[in-house]
């Protein structure tokens, strides 16, 4: 059998997920730099209000990361030593680190085979008298099955804290992720669908976020803007030993423009996803991502899984050969229970969570971002199809 001809190598490397910024973002940042306020101030507050309105959230709190949002949420709920929080291994480790930060015990349960989101049946089996909260992660932007998780939370008097780092904008049964009363943390990291370079947002009930706001800034009852603005009082009190998690107005300037552009950027993402799905529909050696009928996927990531029974190539070599063709890719994520800290601390073996481990060994994320051109995507499709044919059993 003849070996298929390799596609032409790109002249330049195709980055996996560069930020989609325009002159409008640059102008807004410059406007901030020329103002009297560059740290947390009027633009950060505007960003909170406009972000909350976009999601129809009860309220929003701008922070310096999604990690900060999760940490502040757990601390505000009073979760600590002796408590257990059920969560997923299929996430960036920050989702689980914050449970350790408050002194609680993370309980990892396996994921669903199609979405790779936390499995509600596994959650139910893991609940003990020590369980205080469930922390689901909307992996790749596909919403978790929230109805059964909310039902379990109500039955056992548990909190639900959502990690929506990937899930802007996404919806579950017609409701935007972040629009409920659950504390929900979003990420605006450089690769995200909306970026402020670094940054995040926590949504939830106004009274809850009032307490979270204090904890997020040293436990002070008044922030700097309210102390240094014209006519403001210098006086403040510390009511809790809080953190330093505020978002600056420079970052908020990026967020304000990105939020206005978000629908257009999402339309581009969805067009790229549709094209990927169409191009790879007949590839038996791939497991493609899904979108269940009752959700709207944010498509932060496009994760494919290789069927090793049909291929002579392993995932790591597949990534290396894509790189040789100047195509960037990544892996999302190394399951938490494989990292030495969690593996050793909780005595976990890879096969303790077989679905997460099996998916990890087969998965890679293809380039997907609002800056991606049709030509860029054609290069990715051609490279993937070429490698599948060359390495087919």
DSSP result, 58-84: S-EEEES-HHHHHHHHHHHTT--TT-E
Instruction: Kindly state the average pLDDT of the residues 360-383.
Output: 98
pLDDT more than 90, % of the chain: 94
CA–CA gap between residue 256 and residue 261 (Å, rounded): 9
What are the backbone angles phi and psi of residue 385, rounded to the nearest 5°?
Answer: -65, -40
Stretch among 19-33, 227-241, 298-312 having the lowest mean pLDDT? 227-241
Could you tell me the pLDDT band of residue 384, with boundaries at 50, 70 and 90? very high
Per-residue confidence (pLDDT) for residue 236, from 0 to 100: 86
Stretch among 227-236, 243-252, 344-353, 384-393 having the lowest mean pLDDT? 227-236
Q: Where in the chain is the domain with CATH 3.40.640.10?
A: 23-259
Please write the tens of the pLDDT for every residue from 100-137.
999 999 999 999 999 999 999 999 999 999 999 999 99
Q: Where in the chain is the domain with CATH 3.90.1150.10?
A: 262-390
Could you tell me the pLDDT band of residue 226, with boundaries at 50, 70 and 90? low
CB 143 within 8 A of CB 177: yes
Residue 15 structure tokens = 């980055």
The listed CATH number (3.40.50.1390, 3.40.640.10, 3.65.10.10, 1.20.210.10) that belongs to domain 23-259: 3.40.640.10
> Which amino acids are annotated catalytic?
192
Residue 330 structure tokens = 């990544």
Per-residue confidence (pLDDT) for residue 261, from 0 to 100: 98
Per-residue confidence (pLDDT) for residue 185, from 0 to 100: 99
Half-sphere exposure of 106 (CA within 13 A, CB side): 27
Per-residue confidence (pLDDT) for residue 165, from 0 to 100: 98
Could you tell me the pLDDT band of residue 5, with boundaries at 50, 70 and 90? confident
- For helices 23-33 and 249-280, angle between their N-to-C axes, nearest 10 degrees: 170
CATH number belonging to domain 262-390? 3.90.1150.10
pLDDT more than 70, % of the chain: 97
Average pLDDT of the residues of the chain: 96
Per-residue confidence (pLDDT) for residue 102, from 0 to 100: 98
pLDDT reading at 181 higher than 90: yes
Its pTM surpasses 0.75: yes
């Amino acid at each position: 059998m003849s070996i298929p001809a390799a596609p032409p190598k790109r002249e330049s490397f195709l980055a996996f997920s560069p930020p989609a910024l325009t002159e409008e973002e640059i102008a807004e940042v410059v406007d901030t730099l020329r103002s009297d306020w560059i740290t947390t101030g009027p633009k950060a507050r505007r960003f909170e209000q406009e972000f909350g309105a976009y999601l129809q959230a009860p309220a929003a709190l701008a922070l310096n990361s999604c990690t900060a949002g999760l940490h502040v949420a757990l601390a505000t709920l009073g979760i600590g030593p002796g408590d257990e929080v059920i969560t997923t291994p299929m996430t960036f480790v920050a989702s689980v680190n914050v449970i350790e930060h408050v002194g609680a015990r993370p309980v990892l349960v396996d994921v669903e085979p199609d979405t790779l989101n936390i499995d509600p049946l596994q959650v139910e089996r893991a609940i003990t008298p020590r369980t205080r909260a469930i922390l689901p992660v909307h992996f790749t932007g596909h919403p978790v099955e929230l109805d059964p998780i909310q039902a379990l939370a109500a039955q056992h008097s548990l909190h639900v804290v959502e990690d929506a780092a990937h899930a802007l904008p996404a919806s579950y049964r017609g409701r935007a992720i972040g629009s409920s009363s659950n504390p929900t943390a979003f990420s605006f990291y450089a690769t995200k669908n909306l970026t402020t370079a670094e940054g995040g947002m926590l949504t939830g009930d106004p009274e809850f976020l009032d307490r979270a706001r204090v904890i997020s800034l040293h436990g002070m009852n008044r922030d700097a803007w309210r102390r240094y603005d014209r006519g403001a009082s210098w006086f403040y009190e510390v009511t809790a030993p809080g953190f330093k998690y505020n978002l600056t107005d420079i970052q908020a300037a990026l967020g304000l423009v990105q939020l206005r552009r978000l629908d257009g950027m999402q339309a581009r993402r969805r067009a790229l996803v549709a094209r990927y799905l169409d191009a790879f529909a007949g590839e038996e050696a791939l497991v493609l991502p899904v979108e269940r009928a009752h959700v709207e996927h944010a498509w932060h990531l496009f994760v494919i899984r290789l069927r090793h029974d049909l291929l002579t190539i392993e995932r790591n070599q597949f990534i290396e050969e894509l790189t040789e063709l100047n195509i960037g890719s990544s892996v999302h994520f190394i399951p938490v229970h494989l990292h030495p800290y969690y593996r050793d601390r909780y005595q976990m073996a890879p096969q303790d969570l077989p679905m997460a481990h099996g998916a990890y060994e087969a998965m890679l994320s293809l380039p997907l971002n609002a800056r991606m051109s049709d030509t860029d995507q054609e290069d990715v499709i051609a490279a993937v199809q070429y490698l599948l044919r060359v390495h087919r059993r």
